[in-house]
Amino acid sequence: MEAIRSPEIDKVYGGANGIYGIISQQIADLSGQVRTTEDFKLLETTPGMALGSCRFKLPPAENDTKVYEKLVKIFHSYNIGYFLYIGGSNSMDTVWKLSRYLKDKEEDIKVLGVPKSVDNDLSGTDHTPGFGSAAKFIATSTEEIIRDSEAYPISSVTIIEVMGKESGWLTAASILPRHFGENAPHLVYLPEVPFSMGQFINDVQETMKKERAVVVVVSEGLKFSDGSYVAQPSDGAGGYSSVGQVLERALVSTIGGKVRSVVLNVLQRCSGHLLSAADITEARRLGTYAVRDALAGETGKVLVFSRVSDSPYLINIETVPVEQVLSAGIKGFPLEWISPENNDLTQKALDYLLPLIDGEVEYSCKAGMPVHFRFDLTPCPPPEKAGLEG
């Protein structure tokens, strides 16, 4: 919205499926598609990626200059002077490679990275937009599963599997119900620390001595001490079996009784009915700052959140060099926030998470169903087509 309002920007374009869409000239004119504040609010509350997503990574410029030369031609043809790229680590890699190439070629095109990732594993920033709403969904789902598990007068174990192959930020969000008086989840396991099947079974048995309905939350990426995944690959395409089901079978074969596993799956990243107002507000602020920084001449940088305090919750928005973000690698969950037994989290984790889910967001409905915003991503021709063949 900031870009559309800016008198210094004539057109706002969007590439379908990220940089892949730019390279293949699947470029849509977005300028007239968000006309009102209501349109923008509808876009804010629509789940998923409005422009689509991709896993495509630019090759190093020293190995392949053709794709960079083509991108420059496309940028020139569309009179693009600012390229803002939204996403996680792969997207920031694109920002780094592209901004370096443009600088080396003395091209006056500004490139900035705007973080967005439900995984919250991008280094250099306190958190990423998208994580707060995903955390709210996980926390709410956990609380509802707790209620359901208590409905029966028999002993039971419910295992909730949460996204997170390399980092446990999303799984950590499951402890948020404790702030509101819940005793569960009783056990939480993150991929940052080694997992022991024997210790897990013992943890559950000990907890069952005190609790009738035991709730356990686990990250999908749990690993044993030798580095192998608890849930090994289930096919040749890189897919994995469910860690929740693996642990469910282990408990059934050892302690018996009522055991079930619940996999939240893609709902964690596309549930538009449980948005965090704090998350939506911060995403809007970050986008606004990104446009202003680009207009001010910033390039090769990433906008980040810097937390001032937990309570009252205060953050600053800053820019840091993109190579600083990438060189730090994946941001794992802090080990000091994990209990010594590796099966629970500390109060510090709760203090960090709580402000990120604050506030409710109203979303538009029609005939009882949510209304979603959809861009028309029909490619538009550039003002000049010269030099874009091939």
pLDDT tens-digit map of 163-201: 999 999 999 999 999 999 999 999 999 999 999 999 999
Q: Which of 278, 142, 276 is nearest to 213 (CA)?
A: 142
E strands, 185-344, are: 187-189, 213-219, 258-263, 301-309, 314-321
Let me know: does 112 contact 312? Beta carbons within 8 Å: no
HSE (CB half, 13 Å, CA atoms) of 253? 8
d(CA 127, CA 352): 10
Let me know: does 45 contact 363? Beta carbons within 8 Å: yes
Q: Which of 101, 122, 103 is nearest to 113 (CA)?
A: 122
Phi, psi of 101 (to 5 degrees): -60, -45
Q: Kindly report, residue by residue over 269-303, the tens digit of the pLDDT.
A: 999 999 999 999 999 999 999 999 999 999 999 99
Distances (CA, A) of 238 to 168, 232, 389: 20, 10, 36
Given the structure tokens 């997170």, which residue do they identify?
164
Asked if the model's pLDDT at residue 233 lies above 80, the reply is no
- Residue 316 one-letter amino acid: N
Largest CA distance in the chain: 75
Phi, psi of 324 (to 5 degrees): -65, -40
State the pLDDT at residue 383.
82
At 244 the three-state DSSP class reads: helix
Asked if the model's pLDDT at residue 356 lies above 60, the reply is yes
Mean pLDDT of the chain: 94
d(CA 301, CA 317): 13
Active site residue 119: yes
Distance separating the N- and C-terminal Cα atoms of the chain:
34
Asked if the model's pLDDT at residue 354 lies above 80, the reply is yes
State the pLDDT at residue 387.
46
Question: Residues 119, 121, 203, 279: which is the catalytic one?
Answer: 119
At 261 the three-state DSSP class reads: strand
Residue 329: how many other CB atoms lie within 10 Å:
11
